[in-house]
Amino acid sequence: MGQSYRDLIAWQRAMQLVTDIYRETGKFPLGERYGLTNQLRRAAVSVPNNIAEGQARFSSRDSHRFLSMARGSLVEIETQLQIAMNLAYLAKAEGTQLMKSVAELGRILNGLLSSIKVVA
């Protein structure tokens, strides 16, 4: 089989994003522990999970599907980060940096998705 998911730049960047999101959401109000904090963390964790699972699949259709789910989770993260900034749970500088990381990872995932030939 091909390379390990650990070798993928997308997976490595996604793991860094998880770390950064956990670090920043740790500063959110305690009342958000089961709300926005949990939502952001779950969406963040699903990105590298789906990248890894897609890499482990033997069919291009399955790989594409899991990478698409990772991309969907990125859009959730982007929306939730904007909500956190709107509520002033996240400082502008940190929010902007996280948004840049999300956008960069989105471009990487888009490249991976376009490189997979899905047979109809």
CATH number for the domain that contains residue 13: 1.20.1440.60
Number of structural domains (the chain) is: 1
Task: Let me know if residue 85 belongs to a domain.
Answer: yes
pLDDT of residue 120: 59
Report the C-alpha gap between 22 and 19 in whole angstroms.
5
Residue 120 in any domain: the answer is no
Q: Is residue 89 part of a domain?
A: yes
Residue type, 34: Y
For residues 92 and 85, what is the distance between their CA atoms, to the nearest angstrom? 7
Residue 42 lies in a domain: yes
Is 27 domain-assigned?
yes
**pLDDT over 50 (residue 17):** yes
pLDDT value of position 1:
45
As a whole number, mean pLDDT of residues 2-17 equals 92
Report the pLDDT averaged over residues 73-101.
97
Helix 9-25 with 36-56: angle, nearest 10 deg: 170
Residue 38 above 60 pLDDT? yes
- Assess if residue 59 is contained within a domain: yes
Give the range of the structural domain holding residue 25, as residue numbers without chain letter.
5-115
Instruction: Tell me the three state secondary structure of residue 2.
Output: coil
Q: Kindly state whether residue 38 falls inside one of the protein's structural domains.
A: yes
Residue 54 lies in a domain: yes
